[in-house]
Amino acid sequence: GIYTGDGTVPSNTTVTITDVLNFDGDIALSGQILGLSDERLKNNIAPIINALSSLSQLNPTTYNFDVTKYENLNLPTVKQYGLLAQAVEKVIPEIVSTTQFKGNQEFKSINYNALISILVGAINEQETRIKTLEEKMDKILKSLEIKE
């Protein structure tokens, strides 16, 4: 349910939001975050090509947010794991966006959900390469067995 500021739950509440929501701090959720993915809603469908090449250009990092300089954003103080949006933007610009926060501050964000599809594409590419190498290795081993 949706909880009001005093902790009560309004019944049969539907919330429609047509803008970006900015939250200070963490979001706790006991359900799921679902994104519309129904094929009927889509056009210009094409496979992700060279996913592995794109991913190999990204450098995962650990970091801490600058909580002193940006104390108004209520950033977490613990070590973080992720990618740098400006670096991702050079490789896969479609998954990076700029969002405006308090005081007209703009910061870049990464659509990590979209990154999942690229990861799946890269795994599929690797699997194809592995199968091809296994087939070549089998042929080499068979040819060596014949010579013995």
pLDDT for position 7:
62
- 35-39, 55-59, 101-105, 115-119: which range is least confident on average? 101-105
Using alpha carbons, select from 112, 83, 109 the residue that is nearest to residue 96. 109
Contacts of 88 (CB under 8 A, 6+ apart): 58, 95, 96, 110
pTM over 0.85: no
State mean pLDDT over 105-129: 95
Q: What confidence tens digit (pLDDT) does each residue in 69-110 have?
A: 988 888 899 999 999 999 999 999 999 999 888 778 899 999
State mean pLDDT over 1-12: 60
Quote the percentage of the chain above a pLDDT of 70: 88
- 26-40, 114-128, 129-143: which range is least confident on average? 26-40
Query: Alpha-carbon distance 102 to 6, whole Å?
Result: 25
Q: Is the pLDDT of residue 32 over 60?
A: yes
